Amino acid sequence: QTAEMIKYANNSFLATKISFINQLSNICQKIPGANIDDIGKTIGLDPRIGKLFLNAGPGYGGSCLPKDMKALINFAKTSGINPTLLNAVEEINTKQLEQIILMIKEKLGDLGSKKITILGTAFKPDTDDIRDSIAIELIKKLLKKKAKIIIHDPKAMKNTQRIFKEKINYAKTIKDALSKSQCVIIMTQWKQYEKLNNNQFKYMTKKFVIDCRRVLVKKQLDVDYIAIGLGKEN
């Protein structure tokens, strides 16, 4: 029992760090000049906190964190404990996606028939693993709103296609993914996406970019750009 609790506690604590930095990132977006990356790196220098799992983004996913969070919450409830903190961690994670959808709706209005590009469906770079990927959840929510989705991922295309089949479109190149798109959302921090520039964005019909990983530099781009965790002056 102790070994099992250690595993649950370890992954739940990591999920807590992610939700904590994500909530801070939402605050940063409302403060001109605030930069969540600077905050994460600085507090991570404190050895009591540590630098890992302090990268703000669209939420946590993967095969371990969501599963172990749910397991620990259920274990607490069956033991008669109200897991207030753990519930809040999950709620923050869910609201990260809702915030992204709200950003899109504020720019595009009704999402029906709007062409939206998702860059990255793997739950992290350098893998084809999409288990509990937050990008997959985003696609599901956008499909419910009748949006037209096109995705690109260097490794996870086949796995993504197994889930959505013909419900979405799949682009072999970034250029194809952006062509005639009205919004692009960078979900996974692949190196290829760090090189995006105006020459590629020019193929979009509406140049609206949501950078969930802050891989781009706004000053270098001629687009309507929002980055999670950056105040407006950044």
List active site positions: 64
Token pair listed for 178: 């952006």
Q: Are 222 and 207 in contact (CB under 8 A)?
A: yes
Q: List own/partner pairs for 224-230 with CB under 8 A and 24 or more apart.
A: 224/107, 226/103, 228/25, 228/26, 228/29, 228/36, 228/56, 228/57, 228/58, 228/100, 229/24, 229/25, 229/26, 229/28, 229/29, 229/35, 229/36, 229/37, 229/56, 230/28, 230/29, 230/34, 230/35, 230/36
Is-contact 231 29, C-beta < 8 A? Answer: yes
Q: What burial class does residue 5 get, using C-beta atoms within 10 Å of its C-beta: 0-12 exposed, 13-18 middle, 19+ buried? A: exposed
Among positive and negative, which fits the CA dihedral 192, 193, 195, 196? positive
- What is the rounded (10 degree) CA torsion for 101, 113, 161, 212? -30
Q: How far apart are the first and last CA of the chain?
A: 48
